[in-house]
Amino acid sequence: MEPLDDDLFLGKYQPSDLKIASEFLTTWLPFLSRDLCSDCVHVLSRRIRSLHPDNSCNNNSETVSRDDKPITHLVVEDMDSEETDRNVEDDRDGKFNASVTTSPKMSWADMTQEDGLNEEEEEEEQKVSEDWTKTPQKRKLSRDEREQYRFINVKRMKVFSCYEKVKGRRVDILDGLELHTGVFSAAEQKRIVDYVYELQEKGRKGELQERTFTAPHKWMRGKGRVTIQFGCCYNYATDKAGNPPGILQHGAVDPIPLLFKVIIRRLVGWHVLPPTCVPDSCIVNIYDEGDCIPPHIDNHDFLRPFCTVSFLSECDILFGANLKIDGPGEFSGSYSLPLPVGSVLVLKGNGADVAKHCVPAVPQKRISITFRKMDESKRPVGFTPDPDLQGIKPLPYEQTTQSTPPAVAAISASRWNNNQNGGNYNSRGGGQCKHRESS
């Protein structure tokens, strides 16, 4: 690519027009640079950046340092009208960071590349990374190095066992369950939770589409959990119109917000979900104290695996081929698994299709987001795949075996033993199954 006479060409446009062009082309850079060689990507990226008025002091892209990396962060649309005067400072330094602006867009650093750590966390990480990188001198880790460092420190428990008799056969009802911790930093979790509250407030004001927001009347303990659905509307039971449980073919819901797309990119990029099952729908559950989810198996209108991310507080999830309802919000079954704050539970195999699962009445406020991919034959009428969720690939890093988180290990020791014959777990008592970990 040869340099152009940028001054002559750009002189025809106002700075505001150049800024819009820079932001637009930055968003589409991954598509525009597809199949280009690395040198061409660098030139294209630097030329796009040079359009921005803040970089107008040197519009000749050929004079920009070749150490400048191409722009690859995701520009996320602001979903809150009160924040339409927000902006993002230039995040080429890799910070998880936003400031005030007049732009209707905000840049929430793409979590597949940004770590969202505050200064204290970053300083602590830098100390540890000196040993990890084996470098004798202090240096600031690059964005890719920070991501790799966080990726290899994700803890992954992938083997859980609990045997029950199902149709006369002894079956491991938990085969296929995975629990991932350390996927989201504290700063990232706070950003996600704050955004969920913004969505809840929009729903209360009627600013979301008809089927997106639901807040049933709380008439007894365990009833009235708030739900926010994106991509499709899932019907839990046959409704008044006679629609059976499953994805409604007709029903107005909002598309997946851009912030949640960033989460999906993290989940696929960090080997939590496979690239063959990229979610195209999600449901947010907002629990108040005493709210629960009754025993169920997720409808097969959704493919396996799917996953649930937990926020705000830890809670237990129960599994069993025959879960019992003991009272409002009280259930008993064979196996209880604590879900730490920020953890991601992946369900597939017997863990998704043989064992039922439920969440007993939570002791304090909790938020969960469940991401699922629809069966193509069950998608709503008029559904169009989101281009932002196409072609996502896992990062080229190897997973490593990690130790069981201390909190999980402590609870595990008190609840599960090595009895492979199964047993009974009550939401107020102990259990008789086991878990172990594998890479």
Nearest in space to 87 (alpha carbons), one of 73, 75, 99:
99
Output phi, psi for 159, to 5 deg. Answer: -130, 115
Scan for tokens 């008190």, then name that residue.
414
For the chain, percent helix, then strand, then coil, each to nearest 5? 30, 20, 50
pLDDT of residue 129: 55
What is the residue-wise DSSP string for 332-351?
EESEEEEE-TT-EEEE-HHH
Amino acid at 64: V
Distance separating alpha carbons of residues 191 and 186, to the nearest angstrom: 9
Residues paired with residue 77 on neighbouring β-strands, in sequence order: 105
Query: How many Cβ atoms are within 10 Å of 152's Cβ, its own excluded?
Result: 14
Q: Taking residues 36-46, what's their average pLDDT?
A: 82
Distance CA 401, CA 185 (A): 20
198-202 — which CB contacts under 8 Å span 24+ positions? Answer: 198/79, 198/80, 199/79, 199/228, 199/257, 199/284, 200/226, 200/228, 200/286, 202/79, 202/80
- Distance between first and last Cα of the chain: 45
Residue-averaged pLDDT of the chain? 77
| Polymer length in residues for the chain | 439
User: In degrees, to the nearest 5, what angle opens at C-alpha 114 toward C-alphas 112 and 119?
Assistant: 155
Cα distances (Å, whole numbers) of residue 392 to 31, 179, 232: 12, 22, 21
Encode pLDDT of 61-116 as tens digits.
333 333 444 333 333 333 333 333 333 333 333 333 333 333 333 334 444 344 43
User: CA separation (Å) from 77 to 43, 83, 199, 279, 314?
Assistant: 26, 10, 14, 19, 30
Q: Is 429 helix (H, G, I), strand (E, B) or coil?
A: coil
How far apart CA 281 and CA 17 sit, in angstroms, is 35
Return the closest-CA partner of residue 395 out of 161, 139, 144: 144
Percent of the chain with pLDDT over 70: 69
Read off the pLDDT of residues 344-380 as tens digits, 9 standing for 90 and up.
999 999 999 999 999 999 999 999 999 999 999 999 9
Distance in angstroms (rounded) separating the CA atoms of residues 366 and 284 = 11
Residue 371 forms beta bridges with which residues? 282, 307
User: Could you give the CA distance from residue 251 to residue 234 in angstroms, rounded to a whole number?
Assistant: 10
The average pLDDT across 169-178 equals: 97
Q: State residue 201's pLDDT score.
A: 97
Q: Can you tell me the mean pLDDT for 254-260?
A: 97
**pLDDT tens profile 181-211:** 999 999 999 999 999 999 999 999 999 998 9
What are the structural domains, with CATH classification, of the chain? 15-51 (no CATH), 150-389 (2.60.120.590)
Lowest mean pLDDT among 12-21, 122-131, 254-263: 122-131
d(CA 19, CA 13): 10
**Neighbouring C-alpha atoms within 13 Å toward the C-beta of 376:** 4
CB 333 within 8 A of CB 424: yes
Distance CA 25, CA 20 (A): 9
Tell me: cis bond preceding 396? Omega within 30 of 0 counts: no
d(CA 273, CA 318): 22
Q: Is 282 helix (H, G, I), strand (E, B) or coil?
A: strand
Across 116-131, average pLDDT: 51
- Going by the DSSP 8-state scheme, the letter that residue 374 receives in this structure is B
The C-alpha atoms of residue 358 and residue 398 are separated, in whole angstroms, by 33
